[in-house]
């Protein structure tokens, strides 16, 4: 096969849209779900378990005719801190966005602690990011408990 | 308008503020009845009952010449009719100068401090924080040892779930302590706190048996080992008698050593210890009133 050697494309190019690269393979389906890609009817292609020097194994998503808002992009940052977004127009990369994991996260995931006040009252969960890589972990601003990546429950 | 300063978490105060509170507490111990609140109104909102803590606060408020409004039980509040915590706090903060609150949900006091325009004192939010307990522990330590610095402290019992132990570590880490952590393996101190100790270069030693530690330390801080914390009841049966302090165990302890306990105790300190001059837990509870007077005065910037 040797399909990831050289410059050969494993995932076909798009004319216009967004390419999200350097997603940790194990987080691909979570990224798909928080970006709500299942609701998009344009062409989406993805590659999984691709070789990556940095991540070991990475995934890539190409979404035709879709451009993301900043708050949507922030949601990816805590799942795929190393991800890179390329905005494609006419098969050309017109803009690259490097995601940096924010120090504070608000309204993206729920607190893992069932006794946290945010899980019982209408309160937007707020977190301080206490670990950024390889996996993000968050400390709740309210109950002070730590929610690990494995326990993220996206809002 | 500046947001009122609250005490929600022990880390809301810095070292200077800890020392300020302890200094004020000593003043109140010397003369507890000072009419500095002069009729001001303090709300005491206990969304879950905790009679001892509530009475300690209410005694502190009364000694300061303040008036108390509030409730001691959720059954009597409109929260049971579905009013949100947001609305309850918003409304009551219009009626008073400061709110003391206890709530079963973790983070409730922090949320209240965002909503209210008066200071909030957290009197316990679930298993999370109970900062006035920590400050009264610190007052008890400094009063009995003459200092907070360079002390050897044994923390004994449930170090995993014991919030008073966690807060005490967070506060005392500024004063160069040495910790002896005595707990069954199932209830050992969480790694999160061990990391904090390491980062602050604070020596700590882990033990499963307290007898080797008692003679070395200045403070013995006992906590309850609760049966329901064990996933393995056999393990509980094996360890339950290991964490009980008896009077004969104190024979060779240091002369300045004092025994603290956040109370209530069950049987982890045997009654024969009570008469020993090293037993300090009842005075510790008494110190709670002075410490709470100090905290209220500090947050309201009263002239003491
Ligand atoms: Zn929380």
What is the complex's ipTM, to 2 decimals?
0.89
Q: What is the pLDDT of residue B88?
A: 94
**Which of B107, B113, B161 is best to mutate for the A interface (most A CBs within 10 A)?**
B107
Cβ-contact B125, B107 below 8 angstroms: yes
- Average pLDDT by consecutive 10-residue portion of chain A (155 residues)? 48 88 89 88 92 88 90 80 90 88 86 96 95 86 91 80
pTM for the whole structure: 0.87
Domain membership flag for residue B184: yes
CB < 8 Å to B166, chain A: none
> Domain range holding B152?
132-273
Domain membership flag for residue B145: yes
Q: Which residues contact B159 (CB under 8 A, 6 or more apart)?
A: B165, B181, B182, B183, B187, B188, B189, B223
Cβ-contact B43, B71 below 8 angstroms: no
Q: Where are the domains of chain A?
A: 17-98, 104-151
pLDDT of B170-228, one tens digit each?
Answer: 999 999 999 999 999 989 999 989 999 999 999 999 999 999 899 999 999 999 988 87
A113 touches chain B (CB under 8 A): yes
Q: Which CATH architecture has domain A17-98?
A: 2-Layer Sandwich (3.30)
**Number of domains chain B is built from:** 2
CA of A117 to the centre of ligand 1 (A): 7
Residues B125 and B144 in one domain: no
Residues B253 and B290 in one domain: no
For the domain spanning A104-151, the CATH number is 2.30.30.20
Residue B280 is encoded by which pair of tokens?
């300090």
pLDDT cut 70: percent of chain A above it: 93
Residues B159 and B256 in one domain: yes
Q: What is the pLDDT of residue B256?
A: 98
pLDDT of A99-114, one tens digit each?
Answer: 878 888 887 789 999 9
CB < 8 Å to B9, chain A: 144
Closest CA to A56 of A128, A119, A133, A129: A133
Which of B84, B128, B192 is opposite residue A143, by nearest beta carbon? B128
Residue A137 is encoded by which pair of tokens?
């972990």
**Contact between chains at B104 and A115 (C-beta distance less than 8 A):** yes
Residues B253 and B234 in one domain: yes
CATH of the domain at B219: 3.40.50.1370
Domain membership flag for residue B37: yes
Residue B213 is encoded by which pair of tokens?
């530690």
């Amino acid at each position: 096969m040797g399909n990831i050697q050289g410059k050969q494309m494993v995932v076909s190019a798009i004319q216009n849209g967004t390419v999200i690269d350097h997603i940790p393979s194990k987080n691909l389906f979570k990224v798909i779900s928080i970006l709500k890609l299942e609701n998009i009817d344009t062409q989406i292609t993805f590659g999984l378990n691709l070789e990556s020097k940095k991540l070991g194994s990475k995934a890539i998503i190409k979404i035709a005719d879709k451009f993301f808002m900043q708050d949507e992009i922030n949601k990816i940052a805590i799942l795929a801190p190393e991800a890179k977004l390329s905005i494609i127009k006419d098969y050309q990369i017109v803009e690259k966005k490097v995601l940096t994991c924010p120090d504070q996260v608000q309204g993206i995931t729920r607190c893992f602690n069932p006794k946290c006040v945010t899980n019982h009252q209408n309160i937007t969960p707020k977190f301080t990011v206490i670990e950024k890589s390889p996996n993000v972990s968050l400390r709740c601003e309210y109950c002070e408990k730590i929610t690990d990546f494995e326990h993220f429950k996206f809002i | 308008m500046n947001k009122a300063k609250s005490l929600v978490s022990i880390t809301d105060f810095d070292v200077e503020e800890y020392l300020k509170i302890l200094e004020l507490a000593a003043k109140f111990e010397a003369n507890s009845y000072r009419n500095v609140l002069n009729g001001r109104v303090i709300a005491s909102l206990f969304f879950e009952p905790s009679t001892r803590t509530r009475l300690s606060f209410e005694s502190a408020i009364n000694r300061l010449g303040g008036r108390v409004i509030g409730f001691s039980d959720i059954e009597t509040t409109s929260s049971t009719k579905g009013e949100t915590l947001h609305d309850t706090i918003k409304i009551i903060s219009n009626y008073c100068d400061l709110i003391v609150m206890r709530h079963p949900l973790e983070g409730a006091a922090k949320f209240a401090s965002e909503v209210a325009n008066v200071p909030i004192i957290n009197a316990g939010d679930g298993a999370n924080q109970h900062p006035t307990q920590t400050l009264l522990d610190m007052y008890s330590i400094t009063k009995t040892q003459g200092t907070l610095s360079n002390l050897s402290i044994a923390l004994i019992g449930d170090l995993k779930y014991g919030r008073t132990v966690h807060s005490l570590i967070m506060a005392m880490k500024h004063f160069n302590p040495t910790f002896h952590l005595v707990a069954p393996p199932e209830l050992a101190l969480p790694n999160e706190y061990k990391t904090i100790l390491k980062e602050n270069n604070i020596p700590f030693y882990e033990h499963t048996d307290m007898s080797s530690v008692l003679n070395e330390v200045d403070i013995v801080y006992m906590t309850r080992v609760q049966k329901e914390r064990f996933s393995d009841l056999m393990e509980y049966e094996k360890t339950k008698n290991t964490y009980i302090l008896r009077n004969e165990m104190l024979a060779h302890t240091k002369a300045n050593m004092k025994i603290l306990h956040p109370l209530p105790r069950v049987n982890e300190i045997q009654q024969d210890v009570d008469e020993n001059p090293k037993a300090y837990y009842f005075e510790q509870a008494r110190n709670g009133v002075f410490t709470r007077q100090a905290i209220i005065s500090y947050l309201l910037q009263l002239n003491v």
